[in-house]
Amino acid sequence: MYDPWYPEDEEVYLDEEYDPEEEEFWPYSEEDTLPPHSPQASTSRYELESGGCFLPMFIAPLLVVVLGSLFAAWVQSVVSVPSAQAARRAEVVAPPAPAPEAPAASASEPEGKEKLAPFFTPSVQYWRKDILRWARQWQIDPNLVATVMQIESCGNPKVVSRAGAIGLFQVMPFHFSADDNPYDPDTNAARGLAYLRRALDAFGQDAHLALAGYNGGIGGVSRGEALWPAETVRYAYWGSGIYAEARQGKKNSARLQEWLNAGGASLCAQAEAAIGK
């Protein structure tokens, strides 16, 4: 048998009795001028053998892709409709999600703390409205403000300590400007609570450390409790205990009573005399 795809000068006859002149193996007419092995000749031969169906062979796969896409879209729509209906039914049947719990209040969050603990002494309760106003202004828990006033002056706006601290919040003179009246309650509160605010921010809203910093200085307290002066240790002990009991909503404070017994009662007697209580 003769293989027509070999070059003419390399004709191979697999059958010795085969006469190439007796069979027409090229699908071209004698007028064809294309070389048998040129790309044009190969394409022409393929087109002739396929009966002119070259174009439909590319259309068929395209139709398969289009029909497949349409079928997939139909299947998805059939599946998604029940899912949407089930989701709507779940919305009706399922109970509403519980509201998230409110975060615990800190010394910097006065919301919900608009009343002072009842155990603060009468001379401190005298300043109740002012304490609430100052607390909102500086974003400090009013019970913490009252605690500082309790152990600093017991509400006496005229008191001066042996170290020279002045007024309700026992502010040192160097915190005031030349135009300030350090005995004015609003001015005294502004200077004292500005420093308390700084202490809270410096110690991550930790009331115990902030109280210690208010007494012993933010820088000194930052060096560690082992280096605190004895006065600062006592101050943090009294203040943090009183404030903790106020936060707990207690009607009586064992730590405040302990402070009064340790000498605070005389300070409060002076305060009551100063404000006429």
The residues annotated with a catalytic role in the active site are 152
Residues in CB range of 191: below 8 A, 6 or more apart? 169, 171, 175, 176, 180, 182
Beta bridge partners of 160: 166
HSE-up of 201 (CA within 13 Å, CB side)? Answer: 8
Report the phi/psi class of residue 155: left, alpha or beta, with left for phi > 0 and alpha for psi in -120 to 50: left
Please provide the distance, in angstroms rounded to a whole number, between the alpha carbons at the two ends of the chain: 132
**In this structure, what DSSP letter does residue 26 have?**
S
Separation between Cα atoms, residue 37 and residue 89, nearest integer Å:
71
Of 116, 115, 120, the C-alpha closest to 264 is 120
**Helical spans, DSSP H, in the chain:** 39-49, 56-93, 122-125, 128-138, 142-152, 185-202, 207-216, 218-222, 230-247, 254-259, 265-275
Separation in Å, CA 222 to CA 108, 171, 228: 20, 20, 9
